Copies of this chain bind each other. A is one copy, B any other.
Amino acid sequence: MDPKPPPKRRNAAQTRSRILAAAQEEFARKGYAQAGIRDIAKKADVAPSLLLRYFGTKANLFEEALRSAMLSPGLFEHEKTKFGEHMAQLLLEEGDTNLTAMVVRSSGDDEAKEILSRLNKTHALEGLAHWLGPPNARARALNILILFTGFVVHCHQIPMEPVRRESLKWLARTLQAIVDEGTPGAA
């Protein structure tokens, strides 16, 4: 008989990603300060002690959850010529993404802010800047982050349909213009 594949390693990876998904949802919904290890563990269907064995502290769990949301596919998989349109569509459909909600809802907390700042520099900004290419790649990446974050903050607060839709059109144009600066002839 063939031996069964060793279950431990696969289960560990699955448990880890289940915890990260639960953490992303909770941090997005409640922000860093108000999200609790106990609720995250319950949502991931693991014991709080197991969660802490995997991630050590709430700060570390937040950092890992942010990092994995930043690296998730979807953001950079589209053609450059359709970037603005696709991003506006994404924001229209989802209304919000866990990543942006985590950033916005947690930016009032000093501990979370330090983590956000570090990851923004090393991951979000650098990744986006690399994808954009010259000129001024980092400044243009920053402008894209500014537009995303601002939109998410205000569209929670101003859910008026015709206004939101008009604003999304502007967002799509403005995002695309940022990308096109790096593509001679596209602008």
- Cross-chain contact B147 with A104 (CB below 8 angstroms): no
- Cross-chain contact A113 with B174 (CB below 8 angstroms): no
**Closest B residue by C-beta to A138:** B163
**Closest B residue by C-beta to A120:** B157
Number of copies of this protein chain within its complex:
2
A153 CB contact (under 8 Å) in B107, B156, B163: B107
**Closest B residue by C-beta to A166:** B139
For residue A103, CB closer than 8 A to chain B, the reply is yes
Query: Distance (Å) between the CB of A66 and the closest chain B CB?
Result: 12
Closest 6 CB pairs of A and B: A150-B150, A146-B150, A139-B166, A31-B108, A105-B108, A117-B157
When distances are taken between beta carbons in the complex, the residues of chain B under 8 Å from A140 are 170
For residue A21, CB closer than 8 A to chain B, the reply is no
Query: Distance (Å) between the CB of A27 and the closest chain B CB?
Result: 10
When distances are taken between beta carbons in the complex, the residues of chain B under 8 Å from A83 are none
A34 CB contact (under 8 Å) in B108, B146, B153: B108
When distances are taken between beta carbons in the complex, the residues of chain B under 8 Å from A70 are none
A157 CB contact (under 8 Å) in B113, B138, B160, B174: B113
When distances are taken between beta carbons in the complex, the residues of chain B under 8 Å from A143 are 167, 170-171
For residue A158, CB closer than 8 A to chain B, the reply is yes
- Cross-chain contact B125 with A156 (CB below 8 angstroms): no
For residue A142, CB closer than 8 A to chain B, the reply is yes
